[in-house]
Each structure stands twice: as C-alpha cells, then as structure tokens.
Amino acid sequence: MFDTHDVVDSRQPTASTPEFIPPAQSPPLSAMEALVRALPLQRRRLKAKQYVFRAGQPRHTLHLIHAGVFKTSVLSEDGREKITGFRLRGELLGLDALDMATYACDAVALDVGEVWELPCAHLRETVPEFQELLTAALASEIRRDWGWMLALGTLAAEQRVAAFLLDLTARLGALGFSPLCMTLRMTRADVGNFLSLQLETVVRALSHLQALGLIRIERREIRIEDPAGLAATLSASRACH
C-alpha cells in the first residue's frame, strides 16, 4: 500500500550477510524488465548522489530501475524540497512527466545503481505489450500515492514511521532481501521529509518503537523484531501528531 547519508542498501545480498535469503532461483525480473531485457537499451550506471534527471530537463525517455535505490523530489516555490518517494528495482522513474516535454521532479541515486532508458514512442510501436505494462505502472503509482496520502492524513507520527518500515521491508522482501532486516542509507531527515515529520519526531518514534521491543536499531541497520506488533500499531487509537 505504501511506498529509502542513511537509504536502503540496494546491493544484492550474499550468503555471508544476515539479511540474505537463498532464493530457489535468481530473483525474478519485474514484468517490465523481462519484456525489455533483450532490447538494445541504453543502460546507465550511477553513483550515490548522482542525478538521473532534474526537474525541467527535457524528457526523452522513462528510466527503469534495474539496481539501486532512488529518491524522487520536487521543489516548492520558495525552494524547499519535498520527497515524493523512494524507488526500488523494477519501478519506473519519470512516469509523472509522460505528457510533458520536461521532467516534473528530480530523481537521484541513493546508492550505486543502474537504470535502463526506455524510449516510450519507439517501444509503443515495436513492443505491443509495452503499453499495457506502462498503464499498469501508472495505476500502481496512483494507488501508492493514495495510500500515503491516507496515511499522512490519518496516522499519528509513530504510526507513520511504523508504516514506512513495514512497507519498505515488504518491498525489499519481494526483491529477495529479508522481510525483517534492512540497512538504511537515507537520513532520518529524509524519512521525516517524506512522512511530513520533523527529524526529532522521527528519531523519537524510532527510539520508542525500539523501547517497545518492536524493532532493533544498530546504527543504520533496522531489524523488525515483532512484525505483528509493529503492524498492530497502525490500528491503535490514532492520536494527533
């Protein structure tokens, strides 16, 4: 339902890391990756803090995330940044500008990553299934935005942080990582920006969730100790934040 220096570690886990889950086979490609993987696409490798594109830059392609974690954000009229999401493998960057000549937001890598450039006009003509998958991606993006709009409007501060952790571990679990353990590489301030909370509020919420035994924090690593208990906080009486 919901839609990471601290961001989620996007490097593939290995058998020597505690968060690794040996898959029965290689992690499955997303439907979009599977469709376009054999095409001669431009593949870009990026370093942490390197921009995929900036708002206002001419838009020529969409970008499919193949590896890494990316942050999208927009600027208010007075220059303040608002983070709109943290994007993982299999997701598309630039969807919000499909009907525009320029990109509508900034997209920056939060770790070493790779994106595949998708020339939409060409793919629509040559790959019949592309339009259906593009429509599905747009619908998924809308539902995700609705989910977070509801969360930010109805959940107290600590519940927002819990929802963020549950969502992130679920998404990482679908990519072959542990659904209980994650390494953050985003700052707590970034988390707060996304959740419309002050940095101090995020820090207090994380500390309280740890004191309750629901999570364990070791520097940038967070482990979900009690998934059911953490999920239960979302249905608790909702207080004003």
CATH number of the domain that residue 198 is part of:
1.10.10.10
- Which pLDDT score is estimated for 240? 43
Is the same domain home to 106 and 199?
no
User: Is there a domain that residue 222 lies in?
Assistant: yes
- Which pLDDT score is estimated for 10? 36
Check: CB of residue 134 under 8 Å from CB of residue 72.
Answer: no
- Which pLDDT score is estimated for 183? 83
User: Residue 216 and residue 90: Cα distance in Å, rounded?
Assistant: 29
Edge to edge, the sheet with strand 106-109 lists 51-53, 106-109, 70-75, 81-87
User: Is there a domain that residue 195 lies in?
Assistant: yes
Is the same domain home to 139 and 37?
yes
Is the same domain home to 117 and 134?
yes
Mean pLDDT taken over the chain: 85
User: Residue 71 and residue 43: Cα distance in Å, rounded?
Assistant: 19
User: Is there a domain that residue 193 lies in?
Assistant: yes
State which residues form the domain around 164: 152-235
- Which pLDDT score is estimated for 72? 97
Q: At 27, is the pLDDT very low, low, confident or very high (cuts 50, 70, 90)?
A: low
User: Residue 206 and residue 201: Cα distance in Å, rounded?
Assistant: 9
- Which pLDDT score is estimated for 17? 36
Is the same domain home to 103 and 201?
no
Is the same domain home to 69 and 116?
yes
Give the global pTM.
0.82
Residue 24 has what DSSP assignment?
S
With vertex at residue 14, the alpha carbon angle to CA 11 and CA 17, rounded to the nearest 5 degrees, is: 95
- Quick one: which H or E segment has residue 109? strand 106-109
Is the same domain home to 123 and 165?
no
Q: Bigger pLDDT: 182 or 108?
A: 108
Domains of the chain: total = 2
Is the same domain home to 128 and 203?
no
End-of-domain residue from the set 113, 144, 175: 144
**Alpha-carbon distances, residue 221 vs 21, 91, 94, 147, 208 (angstroms):** 17, 24, 30, 26, 16
- Which pLDDT score is estimated for 159? 97
User: Is there a domain that residue 192 lies in?
Assistant: yes
User: Is there a domain that residue 9 lies in?
Assistant: no
Is the same domain home to 44 and 137?
yes
Can you spell out the DSSP letters for 155-222?
A: --HHHHHHHHHHHHHHHHHHTTB-SSEEE-BS-HHHHHHHHT--HHHHHHHHHHHHHTTSEEEETTEE
Alpha helices in the chain (DSSP H): 31-36, 120-126, 130-154, 157-174, 188-195, 199-211, 227-232
Instruction: Say yes or no to pLDDT of 7 above 90.
Output: no
Is the same domain home to 47 and 138?
yes
User: Residue 80 and residue 24: Cα distance in Å, rounded?
Assistant: 45
| Tens-place pLDDT, residues 193-231 | 999 999 999 999 999 999 999 999 998 899 999 999 999
Instruction: Say yes or no to pLDDT of 102 above 50.
Output: yes
Q: Bigger pLDDT: 2 or 45?
A: 45
User: Residue 188 and residue 7: Cα distance in Å, rounded?
Assistant: 9
Q: Bigger pLDDT: 186 or 166?
A: 166
What share of the chain in percent tops pLDDT 90? 65
End-of-domain residue from the set 97, 122, 144: 144
User: Is there a domain that residue 19 lies in?
Assistant: no
Is the same domain home to 42 and 137?
yes
Instruction: Say yes or no to pLDDT of 4 above 60.
Output: no
User: Please, which residues have CB within 8 angstroms of residue 150's CB and are 6 or more apart in sequence?
Assistant: none
End-of-domain residue from the set 118, 144, 170: 144
Q: Bigger pLDDT: 105 or 7?
A: 105
